[in-house]
Structure 1
């Protein structure tokens, strides 16, 4: 009987020792995993700092905002581990208030950096969760298997991941008056006026001509028929911010003539257009070519002769060509 008791005690001790070894090994692996995940998270945060600084240096933000972002990136870069989350949260909030970056390369880098931060933070917090869960088990606490290792903390920051550009197709109309001047509308871009022909995005169920006629009616009051439009003859790829949204837009351009004595009527503007379109006027080709104003498309003046040559043609017109 005493031999059986000894055997049972030995078996229990062996099982306890095995569990101690397995638990200690697992806990050690979890601590290593947590530190590796933290290193990856630090790398992702550093990359976001570099991307933000590069965008600020390239003029992607207003000067006042760029100065703020430089201060916040410096604070985040210098922050000790315990205070890093607060510093990064300040940076996230500041980035969230910025309009989308228009420059394609800078926008892509900021988007990728933000996504990597979100992913690295998720992996790190998963490792922290598993480590804390094992350290909370009574067996781990009873035998003090964690030793003097610090209890890892979660890294909680708001995931401010910039979204990619919204894809949109638009139809525009180069409308000429009896003096062959072009009607252009203005809006503000980074504090300066930019000018562009009438037109807008294609809505569900519309083809390009339907969109062009609708936009022409809403923005100018001019009602035309499909046969009054020539084209599309030009296609342009544009990247811009409108109402705080970054768009990547493919625009198709039609030509049309306004009747003699036509007066622009903007009473059909949508609320968005009322808030964002700041004016309109007719420009001659000479004014388009030599004015200090900013016009889109930038090639419009150079393409006017080409446009007039196909105006009103019923037969097939040349293939749609790319413009800028």
Structure 2
């Protein structure tokens, strides 16, 4: 019977999601309350009878949407794939239920007793919960070069994910700011180095990034300027007193990088092409203006 075959497929998709959610709860990337709640809801969904399965699966769906982003790429992919399979299987099952109920209601079927005595199948109604759209914002960043052509990078971490990386000073553009104003404000906050908008050359690069940071999904368009820092070899310290509380928690260090050392680094660096394109920043500074805005990764 088509309806029972569709139900079997839906059960398989729900079971796959239970396995993926249980793996996320066990991976160690969630805080204890979230992990405990997810384990409990997974158990309820996995053991629920058919009559109570929809309620249990709805509770699990809501919990999955409310979770912090899953930073383990393989687990995130498995969970997303399982969710899509549940959505498709539920639609297929409900289509089968609709057709079965319509056939049972047909006058010809009723008159000649072709429907048999089986109970009418019920729809499986669970909401298609999806994660909210990412926060979209524009950011301004600065390639700061000192008198020895070293470039300043900050090291950062996401406390929720345990990941770390190197990146250029900069951040989101606030209301009423243009790109240059945001760039010099962010540099002052993060490094203590004072620049004026007129010290910037660019933007020379543009980069679009999709990422999760401290539990928030972002889609960010970044514009990169180049500037001379006024710092010189032997004067590597920064003034970090202007950093926000979040920056104090997530910025873990800094370094003025020689090009050759930067080319050999094994840690994550953003933009990814920085070592290969650093000469472009130097040439833009020599010219005093960018040739064009280049897309980078």
Query: Which TM-score band (shorter chain)?
Result: 0.5 to 0.7
1:96 aligned to 43, 49, 66, which one?
66
Residue equivalent to 2:98: none
Residue 210 of structure 1: CA displacement? 0.5
Residue equivalent to 2:292: 319
Give TM-score scaled by structure 2 length.
0.68
Q: May I ask how many residue pairs the two structures share in their alignment?
A: 259
1:181 aligned to 124, 147, 150, which one?
150
Q: Cα distance 1:204–1:42, how it changes in 2: closer, same or farther (>3 A)? A: farther
For 2:204 and 2:26, the matched residues in 1 are separated by 37
1:163 aligned to 122, 132, 153, which one?
132
Residue equivalent to 1:63: 27
- Which deviates the most, 164-173 or 43-52? 43-52
More helix by share: 1
For 2:225 and 2:182, the matched residues in 1 are separated by 11
Residue equivalent to 1:306: 280
Deviations 1:140-179 (A, max 9, x none): xxxxxxxx979x8997x89853112111110000111222
Q: Is the 8 A contact 2:65 2:130 kept in 1?
A: no
For 1:111 and 1:174, the matched residues in 2 are separated by 42
For 2:151 and 2:26, the matched residues in 1 are separated by 32
Q: Cα distance 1:86–1:64, how it changes in 2: closer, same or farther (>3 A)? A: farther
For 1:235 and 1:91, the matched residues in 2 are separated by 40
Whether 2:177 is the aligned partner of 1:206: answer yes
Residue 307 of structure 1: CA displacement? 1.2
Q: Is the 8 A contact 1:217 1:268 kept in 2?
A: yes
Query: How well do the aligned residues superpose, as a CA RMSD in angstroms?
Result: 4.4
Residue equivalent to 2:189: 218
SS at the partner of 1:191? coil
Q: Is the 8 A contact 2:139 2:170 kept in 1?
A: yes
Whether 2:217 is the aligned partner of 1:229: answer no
Q: Which structure 1 segments of 5+ residues have no match?
A: 1-35, 124-147
Deviations 1:236-295 (A, max 9, x none): 011111121100100000011111446311110012211222222221111211111110
For 1:180 and 1:303, the matched residues in 2 are separated by 13
SS at the partner of 2:287? coil
